[in-house]
Amino acid sequence: MATRDLAIIGIRLIAFYLVARGLLVAVQSVPYAWASDPVEDASLLQLSVMLQLVAPLILAALMWLGAPWLANFMSRAGSEPVDTSGLNAESVAAIAFGVAGVVVLIHGLPQLVWYCIQALVIERRAGAASLARGQWLQVATVALRCVLAFGVVAGAPALGRWVLRLRTAALRSDES
């Protein structure tokens, strides 16, 4: 199988994941659609649902349709067969950390945008009240999570080596 083909499969798997995430948000939002009491700030609720539902679906469609272009961009060479002889535990761990970091970023970035919008709206209504400070604390928490996730993606090879060393050290201590 060529590198490009593997990249297309990976991109389309991420697109399926985004569709599943969007459908999950849709199912979780159903009770709000039939709520008998009008929500005090329905526009914020609608914006939240739209951001968490529509954005992943649009991104998934773009990724699905653009998978060949993205795969060409990612693989550069395009058609050479995949050589798995260089695949070892360290590289697999690095790939796993990279994927985990990307998943956390996929979940964190829409939350970060949403919490920023929510904090700005609340701050505008309440002034500098303590409630707005709490909202900015949520923004800071999600931003920190996104920064850490980016760090995991960027440092995936080093994390893979570190975990492998810990694992082999634990195996050696078990043998003693």
Give tens-digit pLDDT for 86-134: 667 777 778 778 888 888 888 888 888 888 888 888 777 776 555 666 7
The tokens for 22 are: 């969007």
Same domain, 109 and 64: no
Looking at the structure of the chain, the number of domains it has is 2
Q: What is the pLDDT of residues 48-76, one digit of tens each?
A: 777 777 888 888 899 889 888 877 776 66
Distance CA 15, CA 21 (A): 10
Q: Of 82, 103, 132, which marks where a domain is finished?
A: 82
Same domain, 77 and 120: no
Q: Of 82, 115, 147, which marks where a domain is finished?
A: 82
Same domain, 53 and 97: no
Same domain, 65 and 93: no
Same domain, 78 and 156: no
- HEC secondary structure over the chain: CEHHHHHHHHHHHHHHHHHHHHHHHHHHHHHHHCCCCCCCCHHHHHHHHHHHHHHHHHHHHHHHHCHHHHHHHHHCCCCCECCHHHCCHHHHHHHHHHHHHHHHHHHHHHHHHHHHHHHHHHHHHHCCCHHHHHHHHHHHHHHHHHHHHHHHHHCHHHHHHHHHHHHHHHHHHHHC
Same domain, 91 and 31: no
Same domain, 63 and 113: no
- Number of C-alpha atoms within 13 angstroms, CB side, residue 159? 19
Same domain, 15 and 1: yes
Q: What is the pLDDT of residues 13-24, one digit of tens each?
A: 888 888 887 887
Same domain, 103 and 176: yes
- Domain holding 60, by residue range, is 1-82
Q: Of 63, 82, 101, which marks where a domain is finished?
A: 82
Same domain, 75 and 100: no
